[in-house]
């Protein structure tokens, strides 16, 4: 059963559509991105104060990649455990700005530093640009941790939706290359299997914010025609071996098309002996983790994810 606050938000969205607001999937990508990014910024709870915010860039495969670094309130001088965060948005929308309040809250609640990454977006930069940028950013921060006031032994990756998928891919890519991996992964309703339609993708394809047509709008922008959908950068759930991956926090939402593949990813980690905390918020929808102005469950989930990471890093 839907939580009342989720039902209210969905009703407001439906009313706006009936009043003439175009659906995102009906718009050109550039126009839709601008409109939805503004809505996303407005849908986050008021940004909490943090100790400091630093903007900068790291080198990437196609040029500089923007980042925003948040130190939590009360942080002592010196290196901190650090979460490298990848925003959601179907690889097409979203930015540092749309997830500013979420990253601030994660920093304060976990007592860890958060570095938010502004990877390239489709359709201007289709697959695999986002994962290439994200992996390059992780490796640069890992290899230059002192410059970021980060503890190199306590680096995490995390993100929501597309960002959760990117986080899983970064962990697998580092393991498979024999590189030093993240020490923890925070996967918030990650997209993990693009090769087939799960039961939840079918059951919640209409009426629950992330619709089937909207997912198709994202997909056509991001993935060139003819791409092999079993590529692990698109479908990390299909990896043959999950052993040796970092400890994980995996979160899903009950009325989310991505629910089943997020749960399946957690199950694969657990079956491989990876320490994993899996949490499902049964009454809510995709996006709730950052729709915190409207959905109190999102604030609760922010706090729970932060608490699990803090406990893992002993802070």
Rounded Cα–Cα distance for residues 254 and 186 (Å): 18
Residue 70 to residue 106: CA distance in whole angstroms: 9
Rounded CA separation 2/307 (Å): 25
Residue 201: burial class (beta carbons within 10 Å; 0-12, 13-18, 19+): buried
- Would residue 256 show up in a list of annotated catalytic residues for this protein? yes
Q: For residue 128, say if its preceding peptide bond is cis, omega within 30 degrees of 0.
A: yes
**Active site annotation includes 211:** no
Our CA angle for 138, 141, 144, nearest 5°, is: 145
| Active-site annotation holder among 40, 43, 116, 161 | 161
Q: Which residue carries 């905390």 as its tokens?
A: 277
286 is catalytic: yes
Give yes or no for a contact between 123 and 221, defined as CB atoms under 8 angstroms apart: yes
For 119-241, list the strands marked E by DSSP. Answer: 150-160, 184-188
Closest CA relative to residue 233, chosen from 160, 139, 127: 127
Backbone angles phi, psi at 277, to 5 degrees: -105, 120
Q: Where are the beta strands (DSSP E) in the chain?
A: 52-60, 63-71, 80-86, 113-118, 150-160, 184-188, 248-253, 276-281
Cβ pair 85, 159 in contact under 8 A: yes
Catalytic pick from 211, 256, 260, 312? 256
Q: Which of 87, 99, 286, 312 is catalytic?
A: 286
Q: Which residues are catalytic?
A: 161, 256, 286
């Amino acid at each position: 059963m839907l939580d009342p606050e989720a039902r209210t938000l969905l009703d407001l969205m439906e009313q706006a559509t009936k009043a003439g607001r175009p659906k995102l999937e009906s718009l050109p990508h550039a126009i839709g991105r601008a409109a939805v990014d503004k809505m996303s910024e407005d849908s986050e709870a008021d940004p909490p104060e943090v100790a400091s915010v630093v903007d900068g860039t790291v080198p990437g495969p196609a040029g500089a990649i923007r980042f925003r670094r948040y130190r939590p309130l009360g942080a002592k001088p010196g290196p901190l455990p650090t979460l490298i965060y990848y925003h959601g948005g179907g690889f097409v929308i979203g930015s540092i700005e749309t997830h500013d309040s979420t990253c601030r809250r994660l920093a304060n609640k976990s007592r860890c530093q958060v570095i938010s990454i502004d990877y390239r977006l489709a359709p201007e930069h289709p697959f695999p640009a986002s994962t290439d940028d994200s992996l390059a950013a992780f490796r640069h921060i890992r290899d230059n941790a002192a410059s970021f006031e980060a503890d190199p032994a306590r680096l995490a990756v995390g993100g929501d939706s597309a960002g959760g998928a990117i986080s899983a891919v970064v962990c697998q890519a580092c393991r498979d290359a024999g590189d030093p991996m993240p020490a923890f992964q925070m996967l918030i309703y990650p997209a993990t299997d693009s090769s087939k339609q799960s039961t939840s993708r079918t059951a919640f394809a209409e009426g629950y914010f992330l619709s089937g047509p909207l997912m198709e709008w994202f997909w056509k922008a991001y993935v060139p025609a003819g791409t092999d959908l079993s590529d692990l950068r698109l479908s990390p759930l299909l990896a043959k071996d999950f052993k040796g991956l970092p400890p994980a926090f995996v979160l899903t939402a009950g009325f989310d098309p991505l629910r089943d593949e997020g749960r399946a990813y957690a199950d694969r980690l657990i079956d491989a002996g990876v320490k994993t905390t899996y949490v499902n918020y049964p009454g809510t929808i995709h996006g709730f983790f950052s729709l915190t102005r409207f959905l109190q469950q999102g604030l609760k989930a922010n706090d729970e994810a932060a608490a699990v990471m803090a406990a893992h890093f002993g802070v």
